[in-house]
Structure 1
Amino acid sequence: MKKLMILLLSCQVASAVRYSLTFYLILSSGDPNIPRYMAMGDLERVRMIYYDTNIDRAEPRHDWVRKLIQGDPELWDEIVMNAVNYYQFFKTETDSFKRSNQTGGVHIIQQILDCEWDDETFEVDGYNQYGYDGEDFLAFDLKTETWIAANPQAKIIKQEWDKNQRLLFWKYFLTNTCLRWMKGFWIYAWGSLYRTDRPSVSLLQKTPSSPVSCHATGFYPDRAMMFWTKDGEELDEDVDRGEILPNHDGTFQMRADLKVSSIPSKDWRRYDCVFQLSGVKEDIITKLDKAEIRTNWRNGNDDGDQSEKHTFNVPFLLDYCDVKKQNIHTSVKTNFS
């Protein structure tokens, strides 16, 4: 079975795909309500493992991970051991961050580790980026094998790190250890992650003058498009497309807003929201219809936008991780100097 799954990874008949394994590591201080240390792992942006010092155990976050625990307990134990033991190493390694920046109050140090593999070219890529209190701090550029500092404080630490073996350590992790783990995970994750789940699509509006939001949630995979059309032609003006965001259950959500304040009521029927999902031939088309819009102002309910129902336990920390994951390559090129 292992040979078969690795063959599937290597010999896709479809277009080339880049597979990714990402780890989020977070240290906190100054707030007893936030765990001192959190470690999370995502395969293809789907959460598979979570650990923090409050619960003091590693939790599988997907059905296929439970199958891995039964089928390859050694690999699971290796992941858990690394996630737990990394706490002390992480604190020691980033202690100099605090010396350069520390003031009173709450402080957060984040690290994102990601390895990627192209199933057509077999190219391996990856990155290691640190953030301090939500701002970019240091990043390891795998291609140039150098540390890139985002501010003057980080430049001091970069000079220290350039003198030791951290570069070799992280290069080996990103191009060997991380890739080995990813391939081991895919043996058990393939059937679950390479499925297609169609979303539920709703029209939402906060006030009569607000844009109408076409919101799709519960779809999988995250390779999807959403847009508005008028008389069958795609619109660019008066449309605001949101990013694809993860849900708690491993599915995804997205939205596209249409400004309707200048659209006459008689013309609403000419507008459609179109959702397209990779692997599904039929589009999901939702016509702009006032009777179908879910609102807060109509029924007096002020519970907020329905698209916000999927939130994280520590929104600030995890939103930072998700945004940095989506924009990491641009960040290394433009935000760092």
Structure 2
Amino acid sequence: MKVLFVLLLFCPAASTVTHSLKLLGTASSAIQDFPEFVATAVIDEIQMGYCDSNMKTAEATHDFAKEFVKINPDYLKLYTQECLALAQISKAKIHKLKEVFNQTEGVHVLQRLNSCELDDVTRETVGFDQYGYDGEDLITLDLQTSTWISPKHHMSASQLGWETDKAKVNHSMNGFRAVRSRLLETFVKHAAFLLQRIDLPSVSLLQKSPSSPVTCHATGFYPDGAVMFWRKDGEELFEDVDHGEILPNNDGSFQISVKLNITSVKPEDWRKYECVFQLSGVKDDIVTKLEEAAIRSNEVPGSGFPTGPVTGVILGLLLLSVCIAGLLIWRKNKHGFQLANGGARIIR
């Protein structure tokens, strides 16, 4: 295994929190107007770097990463070299896989997910290296035994064109870990502010109509280590509750929502319910009471068929249209149409 994206090696450390680093590479064939190879490096679900085979150079995509490469310009050159090397390696792997699966034409996609996590308390690092082909799991590297496993196809690594010599695999892995440790030390030195960042969310209660579930929505928080739930009389609810996933926002923060079905909740019992948001690293919970006055609704009052003044306006417009149409027909029948200078005009 090569150094890969050195940006991948940013496996950050922060107090009492496990941080993740992911590299996703995608190689493709026979897709028009799309790069043959694309790769992104992500730290704690925030994209830090990007490259593809068309642009011929890697780029930093986050403000911190941009500042980092300004201070350490040699790293960006190394990222670019690795991107171009991985593009060629991935292209060769797709060619080999098409031979293995007896494929000659059509679109084919090879994806690679390399992930690592570092716990600052235990100083333990765990991770995996996994490939997928045409939307299915293909092969995974077992880091404990330094061997490749293909559980779905039951094919050997050599059949798929992967390196099988354990000595070579171990040598590559050791080099990979050495570079990671060196860059990790540099990264932590410059990125402490990013790893310690904590942003509290804004929490809202939303409802489409009086019969719809009440959604408790939190957005703008960081990091993504958060949970949110409904509780009644201090006890967490599991029935009539629908939990949503944590999703990223465009600014690098996150959002989450949880719905509560209130069809069986009596109005006098609303005060017993509350939405609770908990964020990793923050001692105090954010608690939002279920109160009718706090709910924001999408329903438009009087959303049925318009009556009263609105109906009068509509009928008036219809009557005006009929009158105009009638006037035009009357003028046509009375005066007729005549072609003049190649165009139609009404003779008065």
Q: TM-score range by the shorter chain?
A: 0.7 to 0.9
TM-score, length basis structure 2 = 0.72
Q: Which structure 1 residue ranges, 5 or more long, are not aligned?
A: 1-8, 301-337
Which residue does the alignment assign to 2:78? 78
Structure 1 segment 1-337 matched on structure 2, within 5 A: 14-15=15-16, 17-32=17-32, 34-101=34-101, 102=103, 105-152=106-153, 155-157=155-157, 159=159, 160-161=161-162, 163-164=164-165, 167-168=169-170, 171-172=173-174, 174-206=176-208, 209-298=211-300
- How has the CA–CA distance of structure 1 residues 157 and 187 changed in structure 2, closer, same or farther, with 3 Å as cutoff? same
Q: Which structure 2 residue ranges, 5 or more long, are not aligned?
A: 1-11, 304-348
Matched-pair contact (CA < 8 Å) for 1:124–1:175: no
Please give the alpha-carbon distance, in whole angstroms, between the structure 1 residues aligned to 2:212 and 2:89: 49
- SS of 2:283's partner is coil
- How has the CA–CA distance of structure 1 residues 147 and 210 changed in structure 2, closer, same or farther, with 3 Å as cutoff? farther
Please give the alpha-carbon distance, in whole angstroms, between the structure 2 residues aligned to 1:233 and 1:123: 35
Identity value in percent: 43
Please give the alpha-carbon distance, in whole angstroms, between the structure 1 residues aligned to 2:235 and 2:213: 19
Which residue does the alignment assign to 1:322? none
More displaced stretch, 207-216 vs 82-91: 207-216
Q: CA deviation at 1:298?
A: 4.2
- SS of 1:163's partner is coil
More displaced stretch, 262-271 vs 84-93: 262-271
Q: CA deviation at 1:21?
A: 2.3
Q: CA deviation at 1:49?
A: 0.7
Larger radius of gyration: 2
CA RMSD of aligned residues (A): 2.9
Please give the alpha-carbon distance, in whole angstroms, between the structure 1 residues aligned to 2:297 and 2:106: 39
TM-score, length basis structure 1 = 0.74
Please give the alpha-carbon distance, in whole angstroms, between the structure 1 residues aligned to 2:84 and 2:260: 46
Please give the alpha-carbon distance, in whole angstroms, between the structure 2 residues aligned to 1:217 and 1:259: 21
- SS of 1:97's partner is helix
Matched-pair contact (CA < 8 Å) for 2:21–2:117: yes
Between the two proteins, the alignment pairs up a number of residues equal to: 288
- How has the CA–CA distance of structure 1 residues 182 and 254 changed in structure 2, closer, same or farther, with 3 Å as cutoff? farther
Q: CA deviation at 1:38?
A: 1.2
- How has the CA–CA distance of structure 1 residues 283 and 163 changed in structure 2, closer, same or farther, with 3 Å as cutoff? closer
Matched-pair contact (CA < 8 Å) for 1:199–1:217: yes
Matched-pair contact (CA < 8 Å) for 2:23–2:41: yes
Matched-pair contact (CA < 8 Å) for 2:148–2:157: no
Residues 245-276 of structure 1: per-residue CA shift (max 9 Å, x gap) = 32232212222222223223332332111111
